[in-house]
């Protein structure tokens, strides 16, 4: 039960962060990159150019944005100097798993 409470707290902390909402906005706008900048599919059909390039560009940009968000948000305990206190209260493995699931939860919200 402790892990579900920690998941709720971590997801709430990430949802209150300005960086998270910037990442969500960039992920929502990322398919627009496929219109001009990133065109991996050839112009053989209209489907390939209209749908395929947008989907591939959105997936690639979204993955990069959330990788940067994960790298920036997973070291908040060390950055604020509370790592020793939280390691005593919760297991570092449990914290890492909870942070990963909260990031997946935020990514699922961004894809909606």
Q: Give the pLDDT confidence of 84-107 residue by residue, as tens digits.
A: 888 888 888 988 899 899 999 998
The better pLDDT of the pair 71, 33 is held by 71
Query: Looking at residue 25, what is its pLDDT?
Result: 92
Supply the mean pLDDT for the chain.
84
Query: Looking at residue 22, what is its pLDDT?
Result: 93
Task: Band the pLDDT of 42: cuts 50, 70, 90.
Answer: low
Contact 103, 14 (CB under 8 A): yes
CA distance 59 to 82: 35
| Per-residue pLDDT at 43 exceeds 70 | no
Nearest-5° Cα angle at 55, 66 to 30: 45
């Amino acid at each position: 039960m402790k892990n579900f409470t920690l998941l709720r707290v971590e997801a709430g902390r990430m949802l209150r962060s300005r960086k998270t909402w910037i990442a969500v906005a960039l992920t929502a706008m990322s398919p627009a990159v496929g219109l001009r900048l990133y065109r991996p599919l050839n112009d053989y059909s209209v489907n390939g150019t209209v749908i395929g390039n947008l989907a591939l560009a959105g997936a690639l940009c979204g993955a990069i944005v959330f990788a940067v968000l994960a790298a920036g948000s997973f070291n908040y305990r060390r950055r604020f100097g509370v790592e020793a206190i939280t390691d005593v209260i919760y297991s570092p493995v449990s914290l890492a798993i909870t942070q990963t699931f909260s990031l997946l939860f935020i990514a699922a919200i961004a894809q909606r």
